[in-house]
Structure 1
Amino acid sequence: MRFRFGNKEVDLMLGKVYLRNTEPAEILEIRAKTLQVLEILVANRERVVTKQELLNCVWRDVVVQEQVLVQSIKEIRDLLGPDTIKTFPKLGYRWVIDIDVLSPPAHKSKVHLKWPVISFLVCLIIGCMVYVSINFSTSSRLPKVAFLPIENAMQDTLHDWVPIKGMDQLSQTLRLQSLLQVSEVDDVLLAVERLHRSNLTHEASGPQYFFKLQQALDVNLIVQTRLTGYPQDLQLHYTLHSHLGPQQGVVLAQNVADALTELSHLLAQKYGQTTQITATQYDSAFSNQAFAKGVNAYLQRDYQAAIALFRSALVEQPNMLAARRYLAASLANIYQLEQAIRLLRGSLQIEDSVQSKKEHLRANLMIGYLLINWPQASDRQAELLVAEEYIAKAKQLAQSSQDKLFIAYSYEELGKIKRLQGQFSEATRWLLAALDYHKSFHGRYGQTAALIELARIAIAQNELGEAKRYFAQAMEIANDSKARPNQIWVLLAQADMYRDLNEQSLADTFAKQALEIAHQGDSPQLIARVEAWFAQVPIHTVN
């Protein structure tokens, strides 16, 4: 982006300020971090940008004092004038000077008619030079990219192949989709190993580490990734390390292959051609970065921070349905149910499209889930009927798109509703149908939720032997894939059964096993869930 005000012209792509009242024009350089602060303020000049937002975006990987931001603001004012940025005490800063956004300058050749032949020859030579420059130096202007091994944060063994094979797939796909140079996997692994042997091991996520890695590999861009989520509902978090500092984002996908292809496509679009960043593109990048940070905060159970980040993302992209969904989940997890449901209902009003159909499906399913698990109304039966309407709509959307996973989820929730209504035969039919869908997936452990519900139906009918059989099946499937969350759900469901039977010793035994598994997985959500069982505090979390 380039813009002008007064006698100054600023090029945010090059990080330069041109003073037009001097002859020749004086050119001033903008320091990298200060440039990032300026980019954010100009792109968001219609609002106040909080200090914390700026610190999180520009100095994400470094523990810094607020003084570094104050210094960057001072540098901007020294370069561009003291009245360009207004300070809002205890809140943040806002760019307040009107600017003229400039389009790329058009280069016109001046032809003197007096010398038409000479002019023609000059133009021909220049054209040839430009052609040669484009064809032979384009690759040198494009950044060289290195992918690090993917961090596998999936709580199962089905994705053990992802770190290296996924890294290789990213490298190969990006080569096919763009002209970008990509480091060989073996070269990256060797460079990482050498750095780990050095004294930088303890700084393996700090800026010094990535700077050294860039030097070792002779690359401009290092891509760090982490895979998390659930089968058929994955998140691929990425951080782009370059001279401009780290930039974050997240890709949502049903499977690993789609996630890797989508990330390669994003990189090819972002770096594969030399185009200037427009304000719209910058807003989108900012929203995706805020969204990615919000998801990270959500996974750490820091719901207040997540709420602030998701709301920041929605300032720039109010129709970002994934951010609305995560915001609703964060609100629900701190028991602000009315706000959560109102937000999800608002998502259903946003114009339907290919991209939003899946989110509309999720919104219907989540509203039904919240009504089932967080009773609010005085008339519980009426509330369950409303929940059933939303789940039925989710089922209809899933069936229309042949989304087997969400068909199974819808069937499970319908089975749960029928169990709560005391209609055990109908509940069993829904759950057995859900099991059939789950059996068609590569990951078997999706079956555990339906098996737990079938066990609860058996308990309600005082068929304890049948309940234990279902629990045994569920645990066998969870153990087979070493899926820690599913192991914990099965153990806590058994603990609930024995506590209801006044067999507290057995109940505690199962719950302690669940707590041990939660600590092994080092998951704040799982640990909190098991600790809530011991405290006898009702806790529900939206995954």
Structure 2
Amino acid sequence: MRFQIEDKVLDTVTGIVTSADSEHSIRAKTLQVLNYLIEHKTDIVSKQAVIDAVWDDVVVQDQVLTQSIKEIRDLLGAKVIKTYSRKGYQWVAPLLPETIQTVAAQVTEPQSTIQARPVIDKSKVWIGASLVVFLLLIMVFVFLFSRSEPPLKVAFLPVQNDVQDSVHTWVPLRGQEQLSIGLSQSSQLDIIDTDHVLYAIERLTTEQRQAYQAGALYPLQEKLDADLIVATRLTGFPEDFQLHYQLQTPFGVEQGIEFASSVDEVLEQLVSKIATRFDEYQPSRSNKNISQFSNEAFARGVAKYLEQDFDAAKPLLQTALSTEPNLLAAKRYLAASFANTGQVTEAIALLKENISRASTQPEQGRELLRAYLMIGYLQINWPQLMNRESELLSAEQYIEKAKQLAEQQQDQLFIAYAHEELGKIKRLQGEFAESANYLKAALKYHQQFQGDYGQTAALIELAKVSNAQQNQVLAEQYLQQAFDIATQSDAPANQVWVLLAKADIARSRLLNSRAEQFAKEAKHIATQSDNPMLVARVEAWFNDAPVYTVN
């Protein structure tokens, strides 16, 4: 049979695809795949069902089918077949009825045949045929000329997972698939199938692979013939994730960050941003507005921050704020950069500015929470006043305010954080029973949403309280429980924190050789994880410097 598919004619018997200026033949197996999908166009067919139907006599890998799907899309258009995550494929392109052929047959029938039938008004037949032809011509014209530019071809790379635990090992491929499916459903952009992207990565030459592994995206841009390559990196903690993204077009690179409490939510936010940003995209070297420039400076500043290069992060974050003063997350990272380089007074001043701005912007509720919490955290861990008792009371006021706001917003994560910090304050004030109550409440909140990171921190603090009460057995039990959780979730950062807490407690009991042994174990794990922040914290312990940084 012959079908009209957009501006091409497909012969499903001969496997010939004809357009205005070319003619192509479809491989035999690929033609079988095509016919199978068309025959079952009302269904989503699994990969295995297609393989069983087409390659029933041999054992083949999924990649063989993926290649056939790619060939069909290359010949007939990327949107003729839709991919459904973990379900399979479905033919979705309309197959134009052979209306013209039917009308033509009526018009060119022998006169004798027509006379043998009931009398038909020939003028009406001709008018009907003319109308059908006219309508079809309009449809073709609209299809060919309604878009001045073809839709952008977009490829998502696997998500780089920098959340160091075993819980989020699914992120690279499932995250890539979720982004691709989400954008295909929310825009008219031409999304390159994830199987095709992975296959292209596998087929990079040695030279191309080296460039790609060094961070260059142009090898894949060439291989996929993509207009937009999206590279992403997930960082942060459960309930507090950051998705760093890099958008590579032929005209430059754009960077940014999305924040959300879940992985699904942060991926959805990026899909929304790309759909809004590029669905009506017209390539131009001057397409960046002030907000995009600010977001890129912010993203680069955060990247430097995560590399522990706080001095390099500061000017980038300040640049972002110079064009976008309400980018409160950038000011928060700038405050953290100041704090981590010993400029705590400047950091607190910036955070107070965030409190002032966020108080008048309801959508900045979490930034308001963070600002109160961070000021209290800085006053707890970096004493600045001669009167320590007064400073701890000030910290308690800020943390209490954060707790109240978190309860109003029903933000379970920050309720837990506030309880944890209040527990620290009470420990430093010598009120151990009250401290333990706060910390146990924090632990309970973290357990409710499976916050392994928070559970570890609360257990470490409980161990410190027990140590201050001279209950060494209970302290060791808390630390062992914390280390077991860190090990089960494969979180090296938490393992390091537990080992440094063990080292601190051993040193407080004048067990210096044992303390050094724990610290060396922490250093080994930090080095193996290749995390500069962890390495810096362990080195600080050996140098008798504060191991805390603003995370």
TM-score range, shorter chain: 0.7 to 0.9
1:135 Cα deviation (Å)? 7.7
Distance 2:232 2:224 in 1: 18
Aligned counterpart, 2:7 = none
Aligned counterpart, 2:449 = 441
Aligned counterpart, 1:406 = 414
Asked if 1:138 corresponds to 2:127, the answer is no
1:336 to 336, 343, 350: 343
Aligned counterpart, 1:379 = 387
Mapped contact 1:139–1:180 kept (Cα < 8 A): no
Aligned counterpart, 2:539 = 531
Distance 1:214 1:367 in 2: 45
1:355 Cα deviation (Å)? 2.3
Aligned counterpart, 1:155 = 164
Mapped contact 1:454–1:467 kept (Cα < 8 A): yes
Asked if 1:268 corresponds to 2:275, the answer is yes
- The one-letter amino acid paired with 2:177 is D
1:281 Cα deviation (Å)? 6.4
Aligned counterpart, 2:193 = 184
Distance 1:396 1:178 in 2: 40
Aligned counterpart, 2:248 = 241
Aligned counterpart, 2:514 = 506
**Corresponding residue SS for 2:244:** strand
Mapped contact 2:186–2:275 kept (Cα < 8 A): yes
Write the mapping of 1:359-508 to structure 2, written as runs, cut at 5 A. 359-508=367-516
1:401 Cα deviation (Å)? 1.0
- The one-letter amino acid paired with 1:495 is A
Mapped contact 1:139–1:179 kept (Cα < 8 A): no
Distance 1:504 1:134 in 2: 78
TM-score, normalising length: structure 1: 0.73
- CA gap of 1:454–1:206, structure 2 versus 1, over 3 A, is closer
**For residues 241-294 of structure 1, what are the alpha-carbon distances to aligned partners after superposition, in whole Å with 9 as ceiling and x for unaligned?**
111122111111111101110001010001112479999961110111011111
Mapped contact 2:152–2:281 kept (Cα < 8 A): no
Asked if 1:315 corresponds to 2:322, the answer is yes
- The one-letter amino acid paired with 1:148 is L
- The one-letter amino acid paired with 1:171 is S
- CA gap of 1:135–1:396, structure 2 versus 1, over 3 A, is farther
Mapped contact 1:234–1:253 kept (Cα < 8 A): yes
- The one-letter amino acid paired with 1:252 is F
- CA gap of 1:406–1:139, structure 2 versus 1, over 3 A, is farther
Mapped contact 2:332–2:371 kept (Cα < 8 A): yes
**Corresponding residue SS for 1:520:** helix
Aligned counterpart, 1:92 = none
Write the mapping of 1:22-421 to structure 2, written as runs, cut at 5 A. 132-133=141-142, 137-138=146-147, 140-195=149-204, 197-205=205-213, 210-274=217-281, 282-350=289-357, 351-421=359-429
**For residues 152-179 of structure 1, what are the alpha-carbon distances to aligned partners after superposition, in whole Å with 9 as ceiling and x for unaligned?**
1111111100000000000000011100
Distance 2:179 2:470 in 1: 53
Distance 2:250 2:522 in 1: 45
- CA gap of 1:326–1:425, structure 2 versus 1, over 3 A, is same
- The one-letter amino acid paired with 2:476 is K
Distance 1:219 1:332 in 2: 42
**Corresponding residue SS for 2:242:** strand
Task: Structure 1: give runs of 5+ residues left out of the alignment.
Answer: 1-124
CA RMSD of aligned residues (A): 2.2
**For residues 170-198 of structure 1, what are the alpha-carbon distances to aligned partners after superposition, in whole Å with 9 as ceiling and x for unaligned?**
00000111000101111000000110x43
Distance 2:487 2:283 in 1: 51
**For residues 405-426 of structure 1, what are the alpha-carbon distances to aligned partners after superposition, in whole Å with 9 as ceiling and x for unaligned?**
1100000000001111111111
Mapped contact 2:538–2:547 kept (Cα < 8 A): no
Identity %: 49
1:139 Cα deviation (Å)? 8.8
- CA gap of 1:178–1:410, structure 2 versus 1, over 3 A, is same
- CA gap of 1:199–1:276, structure 2 versus 1, over 3 A, is closer
Distance 2:436 2:252 in 1: 54
1:131 Cα deviation (Å)? 11
Mapped contact 2:463–2:478 kept (Cα < 8 A): yes
Mapped contact 2:304–2:310 kept (Cα < 8 A): yes
Distance 1:252 1:533 in 2: 31
**For residues 2-52 of structure 1, what are the alpha-carbon distances to aligned partners after superposition, in whole Å with 9 as ceiling and x for unaligned?**
xxxxxxxxxxxxxxxxxxxxxxxxxxxxxxxxxxxxxxxxxxxxxxxxxxx
Distance 1:336 1:251 in 2: 27
- The one-letter amino acid paired with 1:309 is L
**Corresponding residue SS for 2:166:** coil
Distance 2:286 2:408 in 1: 37
Distance 2:361 2:451 in 1: 30
- The one-letter amino acid paired with 2:409 is S
**Corresponding residue SS for 2:289:** helix
**Corresponding residue SS for 2:259:** strand
Distance 1:498 1:539 in 2: 16
TM-score, normalising length: structure 2: 0.72
How many residues of Structure 1 are paired with residues of Structure 2 in the alignment?
415
Q: Which runs of 4+ in 1 moved over 6 A?
A: 128-131, 275-281
Highest CA radius of gyration, 1 or 2?
A: 2
**Corresponding residue SS for 2:252:** coil
Mapped contact 1:445–1:481 kept (Cα < 8 A): no
**Corresponding residue SS for 2:448:** coil
Distance 1:271 1:135 in 2: 21
1:535 Cα deviation (Å)? 1.4
